[in-house]
Structures are given as structure tokens and as C-alpha cells.
Amino acid sequence: MSEVALAKQQPVRRKKTKIEFASIVGFLILLIVTIAMIMPLGFMLSTSLKTTKEMLVFPPTVIPKHFAWDNFKELFVNEEIKFGRQYLNSIIVAIATVIGTVFSSSFVAFGFARYKAKGSQFLFVLVLSTLMLPYPAIMIPQFLLFTKLGLHDSLLPLILPSFFASAYMIFLLKQFFTSIPNELYDAGRIDGCKEIRLYWNLTLPLSGPVIATVAIFSFIWSWNDLLAPVLYLDSQENFTLPIGMAAMLSSKFRIAPWNLMMAASLLSVLPIIVLFSIAQRRFVQGIVLTGIK
């Protein structure tokens, strides 16, 4: 694992002359683009605290005249939205998915990293090829399968597949496991370690950072997923956040409740913001190593 490349971002070394003209132009472009990228987030925050009347004022006010904290309360109190329940559902699905993905994928990656067998290379190519497999190409039979098992309108179809390992995560973890020196395993064997303990007591404890990356990304993918929940979940109290929030648009409000929806969006990105601020390095690593956003 190229920790070096991920550590401090080293600028391309140049002679220490005066700052070049091109750099100034680049700086200004970056400044403008960055502001443009951040502005929608500010708009979300500011709208979430506006009253229904103020949110429709044009031009939009930057700081709400009157902070409508009630918007956040309304989300949890309003029986028609069931936001609290849906938030809980999303948390259940995401955490179960993280547990399933971390354990199954590291288990499988351990197999690919440490053992050779007839067909092991072919099987790894097969793992990589499923990276390209689009979910819409397989969703119909998966849906019919889970429906026949009586799991329609339940959270299980969203959770179960994660216990059978994810190709991205196998790939990511295998890269790391392969870099663990063989001597450690030999020493473990001499000490009488069984293979399963080599996985559980030796490999996993050494792999904290990469496992954190796997956990963060499987959390985010599960948290943001819309298509699978849309297929399986019918009743409002079983919705995960994304469907629940999409449904707010089409619900019975007289005016589209943009302030409530922005408050909901803000609360729904909150776990990501928290994860991001405590583990920014893991985000960068995950993106750079898998190439998947």
C-alpha cells in the first residue's frame, strides 16, 4: 500500500523562485470554483433554518432573519413524514451492512491473499469482473428471489447480500493483506496458530486502517442507496431515508416544504460529515485505492 503517496501531498519540486504568474491564475480559478462548490451546502444549511415564508423570498437571504429550529423538530413530530423511524431504518441497514461487508470481505480477501489453489487466479479475475456488473442488470431476478422468500417490504434484502462479500472490498483488502510479510505467518504457525486464528488474531488486528476504509465506504454506499430500497420497501414505516425524503416531495403538503427537506437532507448527510471529519485520511485512501467515489 502506497502510504507514502497518501501521506502529505508533496508539491512537484520546483526551484524556489518567485511565485509564477500561472500559479496566481490557478489560485484564483480554484478559489472561484471552490466557492461555487461550497455554496449549495450553505444554501442547504440556510434554507433548513428558514420559515416557509422566508424560504420563498427572492433574492434568497443568506442568514435567516428568524432561526426556525422548529423545522428540525417538525421532521420528528410530523406523523406524515415518519422521519425518525426512517432514520433508524437507515442506521440499522447501514450498520448491518458494514458488519457484513467487513467480516465477509476480509475473510474472503484473506483466502485470496494467503492461499494458492487450482483456479485461484481465475476466481480472482472473476471477482474483478463483477466490479463491472451493473446492478440494474441483475436486480429483477434478485427481486423475484427475495419476494419468493417472503422478504418483500423488509430490510433483509438490503442487508443479506453484504454478508457474502463485496468485490471492491475484497480487492482493496487483498492488496493490503498481500503486503503483510510471510514471516509473520510462519512465526504464527510455529507457535501453533490455526489458519482461522491467523486470520482473526493476526491479520485483522494488523489491518485497522484499511478496515476503517472498508467500513466507511460500505456505510456510505448503503446510506445513499436508493434503487434497491425502492424495489423492496412498500410501507412508509419501512422506508430508508432516501425513499422517505424523495416521498416528501410528492406528499400532501400545500407548498413543497423545501425548508423541511433541506433540514432532512442536512440530517441525512450528518453521519457522513462526522465520519469525514474524524477520518478524512481514510476517505482519501479509499477513493485513491479503489478509484471509486
Partner 1 sequence: MKSTRESRREGRWFYFFISPWLIGFIVFALFPVLASLYYSFTEYDIIHAPEFIGFGNYNELFHDEQFWNSVKVTLKYTFISVPLTLFLSLVFAMLINQKIPFRGIFRTAMYFPSMISGVSMALLWFWVFNPQAGLFNYGLSLFGIDPIHWFLDEKYAMWALIIMSFWGLGGGMLIFLAGLQGVPAHLLEAAKLDGAGRLRTFWNVTFPLISPVFLFQLIIGLIESFQVFTQAYTITQGGPNYSTWFYVYNIYINAFKNFRYGYASAMSWILLIAVTVITFVIMKLSNRYVYYEGGRER
Compute CA distances 94 → 113, 235, 247, whole Å. 27, 19, 20
Which one, of 238, 243, 236, lies nearest residue 268 by Cα? 243
Please report whether residue 39 would count as binding partner 1 according to CB under 8 A: yes
Please report whether residue 233 would count as binding partner 1 according to CB under 8 A: no
Nearer to partner 1, 149 or 187 (CB): 149
Please report whether residue 283 would count as binding partner 1 according to CB under 8 A: yes
Site string for partner 1, 114-133 (x = CB under 8 A): xxxxx-x--x--xx--x-xx
Please report whether residue 231 would count as binding partner 1 according to CB under 8 A: yes
Residue among 185, 200, 253, 276 that touches partner 1 (CB under 8 A): 276
Residue among 1, 44, 91, 151 that touches partner 1 (CB under 8 A): 44
Residue among 3, 18, 21, 22 that touches partner 1 (CB under 8 A): 22
Minimal distance in Å, beta carbon 133 to partner 1?
6
Helical H segments across the chain, by residue range: 3-6, 21-48, 52-55, 70-77, 83-114, 120-129, 135-148, 156-159, 167-178, 182-190, 195-197, 204-206, 208-224, 227-232, 241-249, 258-278, 280-290
Please report whether residue 251 would count as binding partner 1 according to CB under 8 A: no
Please state, in angstroms and rounded to a whole number, the distance separating the CA atoms of residues 275 and 219.
10
- Which among 79-87, 178-186, 205-213, 260-268 is the span making contact with partner 1, rule CB under 8 A? 260-268
Site string for partner 1, 81-110 (x = CB under 8 A): -----------------------x--xx-x
Q: What is the largest CA-CA distance in the chain?
A: 74
Residue among 135, 184, 189, 278 that touches partner 1 (CB under 8 A): 135
Minimal distance in Å, beta carbon 77 to partner 1?
20
Please report whether residue 19 would count as binding partner 1 according to CB under 8 A: yes
Tell me which residue has cell 471477482: 127
Angle in degrees, 0-180, between the axes of helices 167-178 and 208-224, rounded to the nearest 10: 170
Please report whether residue 29 would count as binding partner 1 according to CB under 8 A: yes
- Cell triple for 31: 478559489
Please state, in angstroms and rounded to a whole number, the distance separating the CA atoms of residues 293 and 38.
18
Please report whether residue 12 would count as binding partner 1 according to CB under 8 A: yes
